[in-house]
Amino acid sequence: MPGIEKLLFVDTNIWLDFYRTRKSDAAVELLGHLESIKDKIIGTHVLEMEYKKNRQSAIVDGLKELQDPPRLATHGIFSQAAPARAIEKHLTEVRKKLKKLRARLNNALDDPSQHDPVFQSFQRIFRRNDGLVLRLDSDKKLKRVIREKATRRFFLGCPPRKVGDTSMGDAINWEWMVRCAEERQAELVILTRDQDFGPLIGNKMYLNDHLKQEFKERLSRKRNVLLYSTFSHALKHFAVKVSKATAKSEAVERAVSIANDRERVYERFKEATAHKRESDVTTLWDWLDKEFEDLTELGLEKMSDAQPAPRPPDPEK
């Protein structure tokens, strides 16, 4: 809606993705975009805690992926052939570069303020003195008001929250987002991969019905909450254009995620077929079919090696 200010909330999982899935050139670009609009970004001490609690684990996960390639198997009289020597030479270079990468990650673990660009950007955005950032040293009365509202919604079971959640971090984040939107008469743009705020179907997220109604009742019928899982969609609302290469990188990440989900669901599908649970088979098939359509829409079915699953046999036959 033109003329209405928009504020951005970037969830913890998006920040941690910088250590897990994003290519370095795309990561640098996206971090620069975030810093360019930091005066529009909402932050809380809860989000800061979650990021800093999980940052090291995300880096360790990355270290586990940086394993040296195995040595080339010997092939008798051909082990000294020119192609074999060339392959071994390249493998040696790969091992050297992996060693340097591991050293950089270790430095990021040891001294993030000097060696971790994600941590540096995060600090500049979330440690600023700004009315959009709820910090541990913010006004005590303000923090108490937000905490009381969050406690009430937590005990009532209101979203956003995870199943079996024992903390009210999501409730604090939501109450602070609504408070910031009220103060600025703004709309919210939420960037997340979690489905605490609403389901993700294909490549589109849908805001939880209760959150949608609550936001409009507390602010205005003319104000909206926009939910996205990719930077390329969320940043459009802030006149920030993501490069085609980065947008494609995000699409590939999404395609891989869909492919992984398909694999897990297909295992459930086979189990349901074996036990002749017809309703489960039909539901799982519909899900698989829809996900393949989403990959086709992205034009990435070949890149993720996704293939349409065969129509399931009738469990009664």
| Stronger pLDDT, 268 or 18, i.e. the higher one | 18
Say yes or no: 134 and 222 in one domain: yes
Say yes or no: 144 and 174 in one domain: yes
Establish if 37 belongs to a structural domain.
Answer: yes
Establish if 92 belongs to a structural domain.
Answer: no
Looking at residue 302, its pLDDT comes to 41
Bridge partners for 228 per DSSP: 191
279: part of which helix (H) or strand (E)? Answer: helix 278-298
Establish if 34 belongs to a structural domain.
Answer: yes
Say yes or no: 177 and 32 in one domain: yes
According to the 3-state scheme, what is the secondary structure of 210-265?
HHHHHHHHHCCCCCCEEEECCHHHHHHHHCCCCCHHHHHHHHHHHHHHHHHHHHHH
Say yes or no: 208 and 261 in one domain: no
Task: State mean pLDDT over 184-204.
Answer: 91
Task: Report the share of the chain in percent with pLDDT over 90.
Answer: 52
Bridge partners for 44 per DSSP: 134
Residue 156 tokens read as 């009532």
Question: How does the average pLDDT of the chain come out, rounded?
Answer: 82
Say yes or no: 172 and 289 in one domain: no
Looking at residue 303, its pLDDT comes to 41
Say yes or no: 277 and 219 in one domain: no
Looking at residue 276, its pLDDT comes to 53
Pairing of strands 187-191, 133-134: unpaired
Looking at residue 127, its pLDDT comes to 94
For residue 52, pLDDT over 70 is answered with yes
Domain that includes residue 289, residue range:
244-298
Say yes or no: 228 and 267 in one domain: no
Task: State mean pLDDT over 67-82.
Answer: 68
pLDDT in tens, 132-171: 999 999 999 999 999 999 999 999 999 998 888 889 999 9
Cα 245 to Cα 58: distance, rounded to the nearest angstrom: 24
In the 8-state DSSP scheme, what is residue 21?
T
Bridge partners for 200 per DSSP: 205
Task: State mean pLDDT over 304-310.
Answer: 45
Looking at residue 292, its pLDDT comes to 53
Establish if 61 belongs to a structural domain.
Answer: no
Establish if 287 belongs to a structural domain.
Answer: yes
Sign of the dihedral defined by the CA atoms of residues 155, 159, 163, 167, in that order: negative
Say yes or no: 141 and 32 in one domain: yes
Say yes or no: 144 and 279 in one domain: no
Per-residue pLDDT band at 26 (split at 50, 70, 90): confident
Say yes or no: 153 and 259 in one domain: no
| Number of compact structural domains in the chain | 2
Establish if 179 belongs to a structural domain.
Answer: yes
Give me the residue label for tokens 């969830």. Answer: 11
Establish if 218 belongs to a structural domain.
Answer: yes
3-state secondary structure of 11: coil
| Stronger pLDDT, 193 or 11, i.e. the higher one | 11
Peptide bond into 313 cis (omega under 30): no
pLDDT in tens, 36-47: 999 999 999 999
Cα 291 to Cα 283: distance, rounded to the nearest angstrom: 13
Which of 194, 223, 238 lies at the terminal end of a domain, its last residue? 238
Which of 190, 222, 238 lies at the terminal end of a domain, its last residue? 238
Say yes or no: 160 and 255 in one domain: no
Please say whether the beta carbons of 8 and 225 come within 8 A.
no
Strands of the sheet containing 133-134, edge to edge, are 133-134, 41-44, 6-10, 187-191, 225-228
For residue 190, pLDDT over 80 is answered with yes
Per-residue pLDDT band at 67 (split at 50, 70, 90): confident
